[in-house]
């Protein structure tokens, strides 16, 4: 456990090679520090020290009411200082993508590289149809968030209690909206077990982290991706409907020098099998 400057508790976990190149993993939405990542043996082979933490309101990290996406940078800096890490890379998957971008934009003296898997773009992205191609359940949640905290809080708290009691419920609920490739990915027994632990931990103390993530995505992020000056690598499954592929296209067009890889036939959960590749690139 690490204490933020304002006294908040931040739950942190490190895995892999303790002497390896440090990479911060910013988890998805909803998610936690125990979310999917490559096996420890793979991290050792890659020479990576993987650092993950519960964003405020998730797991054992105290809530930060009204947080913006940009707040992630200060928490990552605090954790890095506590762990004695000077320079590090960041990897963000899905809802962790915007938070990884915050670190790259606001900690240029600390972040070496940023990698993104199926990330969202800013809600105010000029020229982007933000809801275009997005699955109906996500559209409903984000549109409720744009109408304010009270619009989403009750429904998300109810859903979180159901998922905490039965983590498989979230995967079952998503199944009708999953393309065939994603259904194959989440059918893997080991991955399903990891996702169940992830969701159970995410909602240990309620839905605040989930609520605050959704509110933060639909508000001003507190930085501009055009200011990112570190090497940037993006991957997106072309059939993704949770974070539509046009979000990564927009990011790649607006982050100076960013490299974008689109995979035909892959979708949102295809990001899990790309994590080792992304980590290897991020570690440089």
pLDDT in tens, 38-79: 999 999 999 999 999 999 999 999 999 999 999 999 999 999
Contact 1, 11 (CB under 8 A): yes
Task: Name the residue ranges covered by the structural domains of the chain.
Answer: 2-283
CA distances to 49, 168, 182, 203 from 185, rounded to whole Å, are: 26, 14, 5, 23
What percent of the chain has pLDDT above 90?
A: 74
> What's the pLDDT score for residue 194?
81
Question: Over the stretch 127-167, which tens digit does the pLDDT of each residue have?
Answer: 999 999 999 888 988 988 888 767 778 778 877 777 777 76
* C-beta of residue 238 within 8 angstroms of C-beta of residue 262: yes
Q: Which fold has domain 2-283?
A: Rossmann fold (3.40.50)
Asked if 135 and 177 count as a contact pair (C-beta separation under 8 A), the reply is yes
Could you tell me if 187 and 171 are in contact, meaning their C-beta atoms sit under 8 angstroms apart? no
User: So what's the pLDDT on residue 140?
Assistant: 87
| Per-residue pLDDT, 170 | 65
- pLDDT, tens digit, for every residue of 189-238? 877 788 888 988 999 898 999 999 999 999 999 999 999 999 999 999 99
Query: Residue 243 to residues 9, 80, 83, 117: CA-CA distances in angstroms?
Result: 30, 29, 32, 10
Q: 3-state DSSP call for residue 163?
A: helix
Q: Output the pTM of the full model.
A: 0.93
Summarize pLDDT for 79-96 with one digit per residue, the tens.
Answer: 999 999 999 999 999 999
């Amino acid at each position: 456990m690490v204490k933020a400057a304002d006294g908040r508790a931040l739950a942190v976990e490190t895995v892999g090679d303790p002497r390896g190149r440090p990479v911060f993993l910013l988890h998805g939405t909803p998610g936690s520090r125990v979310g999917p990542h490559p096996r420890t043996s793979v991290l050792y082979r890659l020479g990576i020290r993987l650092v993950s933490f519960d964003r405020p309101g998730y797991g054992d990290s105290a809530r930060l009411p009204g947080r913006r996406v940009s707040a992630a940078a200060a928490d990552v800096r605090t954790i890095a200082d506590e762990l004695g890490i000077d320079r590090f890379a960041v990897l963000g998957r899905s809802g962790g993508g915007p938070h990884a971008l915050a670190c790259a934009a606001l900690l240029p003296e600390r972040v070496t590289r940023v990698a993104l898997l199926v990330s969202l773009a800013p809600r105010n992205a000029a020229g982007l149809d933000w809801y275009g191609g997005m699955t109906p359940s996500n559209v409903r949640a984000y549109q409720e968030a744009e109408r304010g905290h009270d619009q989403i809080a009750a429904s998300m708290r109810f859903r979180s209690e159901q998922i905490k009691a039965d983590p498989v419920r979230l995967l079952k609920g998503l199944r009708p909206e999953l393309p065939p490739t994603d259904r194959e990915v989440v059918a893997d027994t080991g991955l399903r077990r990891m996702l169940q632990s992830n969701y159970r931990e995410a909602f240990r103390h309620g839905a605040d982290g989930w609520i605050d993530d959704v509110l933060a995505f639909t508000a001003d992020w507190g930085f501009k991706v055009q200011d990112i000056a570190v090497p940037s690598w993006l991957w997106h499954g072309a059939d993704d409907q949770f974070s539509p592929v046009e979000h990564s296209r927009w990011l790649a067009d607006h982050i100076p020098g960013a490299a974008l890889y689109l995979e035909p036939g892959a979708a949102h959960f295809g990001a899990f099998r790309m994590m080792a590749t992304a980590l290897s690139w991020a570690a440089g």
